[in-house]
Structure 1
Amino acid sequence: MGVEVSRLSNGLTVATETLPSIESVALGVWVKSGARNERDDEHGMAHLLEHMAFKGTKRRSAFQIASEIENVGGEINAATSVETTSFYARVLADDVPLAMDLLSDILTESKFDPEELEREQHVILQEIGAAHDTPDDVVFDHFTETAFRHQTIGRSILGTPETVKSFTSGQLHAFMERQYGADQMVVVAAGDVKHDVFVRDVERQLGGFRAKSDSVVPQYAHYVGGDYREHRDLQDAQIVLGFEGRAYHVRDFYASQVLSMILGGGMSSRLFQEVREKRGLCYSVYAFHWGFSDTGIFGVHAATGEGDIAKLVPVIIKELERAGEHIGQEELDRARAQYRAGLIMSGESASSRASQIARQMLLFGRPIAKEELMERLSALTVDRLTDLSSRLFSTKPTVTAVGPVGTLPPYESILDALPRLDSGLRKLAV
Structure 2
Amino acid sequence: MSVNMTRLANGMTVVSDQMPHLKSSAVGVWVNAGSRSEDENEHGISHLLEHMAFKGTEIRSAVQIVEEIESVGGDVNASTGIENTSYFVRILEDDLPLAIDILGDILANSTFDEEELEREKQVIIQEIGAAYDMPEDRVFDHILEQAYPDQPLGRTILGTPETVQGFSSFDIENYMGTHYHGPNMILSAAGAVRHDDLVDLGEKAFSGFSKTPPKPLQKAVYKGGESRDLQKDLMEAQVVLGFEGCSFTDDNYYVAQLLAAILGGGMSSRLFQEVREKRGLCYSIYTLHWGFEDSGLFGIHAATAAEHLPELLPVITGELTRVAEDLTQQELERARAQIKAGLLMGTESPASRASQLSRQVVLYGRPRLLEEMEETVADVSVADVRALAEKIFCSGVPSMASVGPVQNLMWIDEVADRLGAPRPKA
TM range (shorter): over 0.9
Letter in 2 for 1:412: D
| Paired position in structure 2 for 1:427 | none
> 1:367, CA displacement in angstroms?
0.3
> 1:385, CA displacement in angstroms?
0.4
| Paired position in structure 2 for 1:406 | 407
> 1:412, CA displacement in angstroms?
1.7
> 1:410, CA displacement in angstroms?
2.0
Partner Cα separation in structure 2 for residue 372 and residue 200 of structure 1: 30
Query: Residues 227 and 411 of structure 1 are in contact (CA less than 8 Å); yes or no, is this contact kept in structure 2?
Result: yes
> 1:285, CA displacement in angstroms?
0.1
Are residue 71 (structure 1) and residue 71 (structure 2) matched? yes
Are residue 385 (structure 1) and residue 385 (structure 2) matched? yes
The total of aligned residue pairs comes to: 420
Query: Residues 397 and 421 of structure 2 are in contact (CA less than 8 Å); yes or no, is this contact kept in structure 1?
Result: no
| Paired position in structure 2 for 1:424 | none
Q: How does 1:28-427 map to 2 (within 5 A)?
A: 28-213=28-213, 215-232=214-231, 233-394=233-394, 395-420=396-421
Query: Residues 28 and 88 of structure 1 are in contact (CA less than 8 Å); yes or no, is this contact kept in structure 2?
Result: yes
Query: Residues 108 and 208 of structure 2 are in contact (CA less than 8 Å); yes or no, is this contact kept in structure 1?
Result: no
Query: Residues 180 and 209 of structure 2 are in contact (CA less than 8 Å); yes or no, is this contact kept in structure 1?
Result: no
Structure 1 runs (4+) deviating above 3 angstroms are none
Q: Secondary structure at the match of 1:402?
A: strand
- 1:178-217 CA-partner distances (Å, limit 9, x unpaired): 111001111011001111111111111112321215x531
| Paired position in structure 2 for 1:426 | none
> 1:21, CA displacement in angstroms?
1.2
Partner Cα separation in structure 2 for residue 361 and residue 315 of structure 1: 41
Partner Cα separation in structure 2 for residue 81 and residue 59 of structure 1: 28
Q: Secondary structure at the match of 1:325?
A: helix
TM-score by length of 1: 0.96
Query: Residues 390 and 419 of structure 1 are in contact (CA less than 8 Å); yes or no, is this contact kept in structure 2?
Result: no
Letter in 1 for 2:83: E
Partner Cα separation in structure 2 for residue 255 and residue 17 of structure 1: 27
- 1:43-95 CA-partner distances (Å, limit 9, x unpaired): 00000000001000000000000100000000011111111011110100000
Partner Cα separation in structure 2 for residue 358 and residue 218 of structure 1: 18
> 1:284, CA displacement in angstroms?
0.1
Letter in 2 for 1:221: A
Gapped regions of structure 2 (runs ≥ 5): none
Letter in 2 for 1:230: D
Cα root mean square deviation, aligned: 1.0
Q: Secondary structure at the match of 2:229?
A: strand
Partner Cα separation in structure 2 for residue 97 and residue 169 of structure 1: 29
Partner Cα separation in structure 2 for residue 255 and residue 30 of structure 1: 27
Partner Cα separation in structure 2 for residue 219 and residue 21 of structure 1: 43
Partner Cα separation in structure 1 for residue 119 and residue 91 of structure 2: 29
- 1:329-362 CA-partner distances (Å, limit 9, x unpaired): 1111011101101111111000000000000001
Letter in 1 for 2:378: S
Partner Cα separation in structure 2 for residue 197 and residue 99 of structure 1: 13
Partner Cα separation in structure 2 for residue 60 and residue 300 of structure 1: 46
Partner Cα separation in structure 1 for residue 251 and residue 360 of structure 2: 16
Partner Cα separation in structure 2 for residue 20 and residue 383 of structure 1: 42
> 1:20, CA displacement in angstroms?
2.6
Partner Cα separation in structure 2 for residue 191 and residue 357 of structure 1: 12
- 1:139-171 CA-partner distances (Å, limit 9, x unpaired): 000000010010101100000111000000111
Q: Secondary structure at the match of 1:301?
A: strand
Q: Share of identical aligned residues, percent?
A: 51
Query: Residues 178 and 215 of structure 2 are in contact (CA less than 8 Å); yes or no, is this contact kept in structure 1?
Result: no
Q: Secondary structure at the match of 1:396?
A: coil
Partner Cα separation in structure 2 for residue 193 and residue 368 of structure 1: 19
Query: Residues 227 and 402 of structure 2 are in contact (CA less than 8 Å); yes or no, is this contact kept in structure 1?
Result: yes
- 1:88-111 CA-partner distances (Å, limit 9, x unpaired): 101000000000000000010000
Q: Secondary structure at the match of 2:304?
A: strand
Letter in 1 for 2:194: K
Partner Cα separation in structure 1 for residue 180 and residue 282 of structure 2: 45
> 1:219, CA displacement in angstroms?
1.3
> 1:420, CA displacement in angstroms?
4.5
Q: Secondary structure at the match of 1:324?
A: helix
Q: Secondary structure at the match of 1:149?
A: coil
Partner Cα separation in structure 1 for residue 413 and residue 64 of structure 2: 57
- 1:282-301 CA-partner distances (Å, limit 9, x unpaired): 00000110000000010100
